[in-house]
Structures are given as C-alpha cells and as structure tokens.
Amino acid sequence: MESSNSGPSPGGKPLETAAEEFVAERDGNYASNLEYCLDKWIDWTPDHVQALEDVSTRTMRNYASHLKRRVRADAISASTARTYYNYVSALLNRAVEVGDLVENPAEKREAKKLLPSETTNSGDQQFWQPEQRRAIVSYVDEQARAAIDDPEANPFEPVRNRALITTLAYTGVRGAEVLADYRDERRNGLRWHSVDLEAGVMTVLGKSQDREETALPQQAVAPLERLRTLVDPPADGWPVFPSRHPPSLYSAIEDAGYDKPDGDPWGFCLEHGIEPPSMSTSGARTLLKRLSEEADVPGLEDDEYLTLHGARRGVGEKLYRERGAAAAQRTLRHADPQTTSEMYSHIEASELAEDNTAVFDNE
C-alpha cells in the first residue's frame, strides 16, 4: 500500500459518497459487484486518500501492483484483477463527467503499466490434468487410510486433507468459496449446514456475492462423510475444513472465555465444543505445495505446485471435453457463456484443427 507524509485533503467529495452515488445509478448484479469492489478498494486506500481529488496516478499504480501480487498468489485471475481495476476507473470516469475531477488518474499509462496481462493463451494456464488429479487424490487417500488404520495416529489432518483435495478436484469450486479469505469477512469457510451429502449439493458464497448451489459428485461425498463422522461437529455451523493452526486455535479458545490450555488446542476445542477457525486460502496453498511434492505429481516444474484455481480449471476442462461447453458452464457457474468459451478456447482450436485436417486429407 502506498505511503505518504501528506495529510488528507481538506476538501473534495469523499470516496464513500462518490461510490454511493455511482452505485445508485446502476442496478442488478453489476451494481452489487460494483459496490463490493469499490468498498474493497476504499478499504485498501491509504489513510491520506479520503476524497476523489486525493486519488493520484501513484495511488492507482500501487493498486495495480496490489492486484498483480494477488494474481501471482493465485488469489484471483488476471481477468478478475483487471475487472476490479476497471470498476475503480469507471468510478473516476464518472467523477470527471460530473465535474468532481479534471481527469481520471486510473487511465494514465503509468498507472496501468503494472496490471497483469490478459493476453495469456488459455492453454498456458494451469489445469489439473487427469494424471495430476489422480496422483494427488491417490496420495491423500492412502495417507488417510493409513492414519485411520494406525491406532496410535491422529487421523484428523489426513482425513481433512483428503476431503478438501477431493472437493477441489471434482466440484469446480473456487478456493475462497469453501475456505476462509481474511480479506472478506463474509468468506469464513464452508459450513456443515451448507452441505447436503445425501442430495450431493453444497451452497457456497459465489463470486457474485450470492448464495449458489453446486454439485457434489460421489468422489467428493464419501471423503466428506468420513470427515464428518470423525470430527462429529457439535453444531452445524462448524467449518467443514477446520484449521489446526495453533495460534488460531488458541485465539478461538481465549475468545470463548477459556485460559490457554497446556495440551493440544485442537483436542481442547473438540472437548469443549469451541468452534475452530476454517482453513484459509493461504493455508490451503501451503498445503498444496507440500502435497504436490510429497505425491510426486507429474508434469510440474521445479517449485511449481498444483494451485487452487488450477483445480477449478481442471474440472471445467474435463467437462468441456467430455460433456461440452454447457456442462462446463453450469458446473463452474459462469454467468456468461463467453467466459467458459474463452477459458477453454485452446480445446476448441485443437478440435477445429483436427476437423480441418480431416477435410483436407481427402483433397
């Protein structure tokens, strides 16, 4: 985040007011997404940026850099980063139109220079390939089974990891839809009351900020059933994928009014019915790095690992090849079919090449 020694501007329209006026002129999902993104941007801005006229080219350059770092961390896609930036730019364009600003600093070349590129070929993005999916799923399954069969082992983490990996590998959910994202208080992890194992459905907070139902294939249902039986959560509001991060557990224990225990904080939470925090997207990325190495996942370069969003793309790619664009779109819950088509354009190009080859072979 940018820093400055200057204080806030004594005049000018406050950012919150400008955002409220702009959102009020829009409607539908666009208005909801706009409001969400502008609120997040205003929260991100440094303390000295209070009004429209405080927003400089440097402010927007730093915001572009912030978005690029989130893309590199696999928290958002490059296209999503540019969408967020464009929402802010639209706000500043509106400010120019109504006379609150002389020019839009977000449109300056120096401000946009650090935005991640959207020109990456769809085939160059990571997809969990079938052999990669099999490798990591087989590994976590073996680990879970071995821990369950070992009377001296605590099977919780291996069983939780298996449930998480199979959920990612077969449902096409976004990581932040089932894990905690501490940048957004609404995204506090999937809860058991949102999972219907019998019907094979779970309800997640989608990218649109609406609650959305998504399918749970049997490949994910059985590991989740085993996890629930093992944990036996005392309330349906417990997270499906709890964290065993000791500092987080101690914080939950203290928040519940207990003194810090001498023993295992996880066991203390279970014994006293204290709700643990959900595993975060950051924690899941760390886990995926470790599991990718331990499972000897094929097709990965040095320091490369299976990513959260790569799991989602892998589900879409399998469905796109086997069942067509409509099935992929429904599972990934893309509002616009064009999004699905662009994501898997490399498949269409490859199939078109095969068809064209067959045509000219007969010439």
DSSP string computed for 230-280: HH--SSTTSBSSB---HHHHHHHHHHTTPPPPSS-HHHHHHHHTPPPPBPB
117 in Cβ contact with 78 (< 8 Å): yes
Q: Where are the domains of the chain?
A: 15-120, 130-243+278-315
CATH code for the part of the protein at 130-243+278-315: 1.10.443.10
Written as six digits, the tokens of 288 are 């995926």
Q: What is the pLDDT along the chain (363 residues), one digit of tens a residue?
A: 443 333 334 458 999 999 999 999 987 777 888 899 999 999 999 999 999 999 999 999 999 999 988 887 767 778 888 889 999 999 999 999 999 999 999 999 999 988 987 544 444 567 899 999 999 999 999 999 999 999 999 999 999 999 999 999 999 999 999 999 877 888 999 999 999 999 999 999 988 788 999 999 999 999 999 999 999 999 999 999 999 989 999 999 999 999 999 888 998 998 999 999 999 999 999 999 999 999 999 998 888 899 998 999 899 988 888 888 888 888 888 877 777 766 666 655 655 555 556 655 766
Q: What is the pLDDT of residue 207?
A: 81
Nearest-5° Cα angle at 87, 81 to 92 = 130
CB count within 10 Å of CB 27 equals: 9
pTM value? 0.66
